[in-house]
Amino acid sequence: MSAATHTEVHANLTDEQVRQISDELDEPEWLLETRLEALDALSELDMPDVIRTPGRDWTNLHELDYESLVDPLNAAENKDQVGPEEAEVLAWSEAVDEHEELLKEHFGSVVDPQENYLTALSTALFSTGTVIYVPEGVDAEGVTIRTEQNSRSLFNYTLVVTEESSSVTILERQSTGEDSEALRASDSASGDEPRADEQYYSGIVEIVAGENSNVQYGSLQNLSEEAYNFTLKRGDADTYATIDWIEANLGTQLTKSGVETELNGDGSESQIVGAFYGHNDQHFDIDARVWHRAEHTTADLVTRGVTDDVARSVYEGVQDVGRDAWDTSSYQRENTLMLSDESEADASPKLIINNHDTEASHSATVGQIDQEDLLYMTSRGVQPRDARNMLVEGFFVPVLEEIAVDELRDDLEELIAARLRQRD
């Protein structure tokens, strides 16, 4: 079934398109080759894994209609990337120009471009991106990247490299622009029926955290609810390095997002904090994964989400402790709050433990708003609607408290409050 899908999409895409994208970015030959190889591999690659239980696929990626959604040469976006002077925050084309060696060393080193069909598609077609380089010993606060999608499809790439004993705080936001001129242009060009505002966003993020460095990367995805989103973020933590992720999802009709850390260095640490709020017919498939591959490593995975209307959430959390990961500590908590009877919440927190010198636990809960809490508040004169909204906002507090980037926390709080205000 997947083979057929691949052939169709593949037929739409050509080497020429990839050459043109690479050429416009003035990329060196090796990058073009990497892209072409990824394009070539599409026919053999599978879709990313989704959870299957008897009779059910938790996420159906084949619903994605790539043929009409992928429009590689008409990519359009509003983008800005800013950061403090101590760190280099470069647009992709600048990075190609100024840091070819850095890219050569790290591009594709954490996320294999040919890991699956969608990573290969993204690698072949990405036209915009950001490279953040933090030199040894530098503390860089407040790097922000904002990407506003204004085209049918957009492929984005982010690379973060931190040298020894440096630190950086990054906030990356995705949204959909009001300006849909490019959309209409591509519709008329293809001669298809205008597909309302359906879009496809794909992003790959690689973080290479050097020894004793500290990366905090927050993402706030607030794309249009017509959009499909595939994102894979993965970090490689060296000795004593820390990678902390914040993964907030509010937009899109379908999101498949992986947030992952490989703890490859002794004493490395990672925290993955997730928050989502799905309503209408949104479908979020959020995966948080950590691999403990060295000694004395620590991981803490905390995700909280809300499902409303007919939304569906899928959560997979994996704590994988390797044979050589002595003295591991690994914790995971996931809580879903269901605001509607028609919504669905699926969860699968997994432990894969191959070293007994491990302290690991996970827990997951699903439930509705506590009726006693609600009664307590309404009996004290709070309107039922306000009481409910306060309880939902309160539900997110344990996650919000983990977010050290003030701007991200404030934005997320406001978006949650706004979504609640839309409700009766």
Residue 60 interacts with another protein (CB under 8 A): yes or no: no
Exactly one of 69, 73, 91, 364 binds another protein (CB under 8 A); that residue is: 364
Residue 54 interacts with another protein (CB under 8 A): yes or no: yes
State the minimum distance, in angstroms, from the CB of residue 96 to another protein: 39
Which window, 143-151, 263-271, 350-358, 402-410, contacts another protein (CB under 8 A)? 350-358
Which window, 48-56, 71-79, 88-96, 408-416, contacts another protein (CB under 8 A)? 48-56
Q: Of 247 and 346, which has the nearer Cβ to another protein?
A: 346
Q: Of 144 and 297, which has the nearer Cβ to another protein?
A: 297
Q: Of 341 and 424, which has the nearer Cβ to another protein?
A: 341
Exactly one of 12, 109, 188, 363 binds another protein (CB under 8 A); that residue is: 363
What is the number of other CB atoms lying within 10 angstroms of the CB of residue 272?
A: 27
Q: Token digits for 229? A: 């989103």
10 Å CB burial of residue 84 (0-12, 13-18, 19+) is middle
Q: Of 268 and 336, which has the nearer Cβ to another protein?
A: 336
Q: Of 178 and 341, which has the nearer Cβ to another protein?
A: 341
Q: Which residues contact 387 (CB under 8 A, 6 or more apart)?
A: 374, 377, 378
Site string for another protein, 204-243 (x = CB under 8 A): ----------------------------------------
Q: What is the dihedral of CA 413, 234, 172, 106, to 10 degrees?
A: 160
Residue 368 interacts with another protein (CB under 8 A): yes or no: yes
Q: Are 113 and 43 in contact (CB under 8 A)?
A: no
Residue 51 interacts with another protein (CB under 8 A): yes or no: yes
State the minimum distance, in angstroms, from the CB of residue 115 to another protein: 17
Which window, 7-15, 187-195, 344-352, 387-395, contacts another protein (CB under 8 A)? 344-352
Return the axis-axis angle of helices 15-24 and 29-41, rounded to nearest 10°. Answer: 150
Residue 50 interacts with another protein (CB under 8 A): yes or no: no
**What is the Cα–Cα distance from 252 to 113, expressed in whole angstroms?**
24
Amino acid at 280: N
Handedness of CA 278, 303, 82, 413 (dihedral sign): positive
Q: Are 248 and 277 in contact (CB under 8 A)?
A: no
Residue 424 interacts with another protein (CB under 8 A): yes or no: no
Q: Are 207 and 232 in contact (CB under 8 A)?
A: no
Residue 367 interacts with another protein (CB under 8 A): yes or no: yes
Which window, 162-170, 265-273, 349-357, 408-416, contacts another protein (CB under 8 A)? 349-357
* Phi-psi group of 30: left, alpha or beta (phi > 0 → left; psi -120 to 50 → alpha; rest → beta): alpha
Which window, 53-61, 96-104, 151-159, 171-179, contacts another protein (CB under 8 A)? 53-61
The β-bridge partners of 312 are 283, 344
10 Å CB burial of residue 351 (0-12, 13-18, 19+) is middle
Q: Are 220 and 173 in contact (CB under 8 A)?
A: yes
Q: Token digits for 372? A: 């006693």
Q: Of 170 and 286, which has the nearer Cβ to another protein?
A: 286
Residue 343 interacts with another protein (CB under 8 A): yes or no: yes
Q: Of 93 and 358, which has the nearer Cβ to another protein?
A: 358
Q: Of 36 and 353, which has the nearer Cβ to another protein?
A: 353
> Which residues bind to another protein, rule: CB under 8 A?
51, 53-54, 56, 58, 323, 326, 336, 338-368
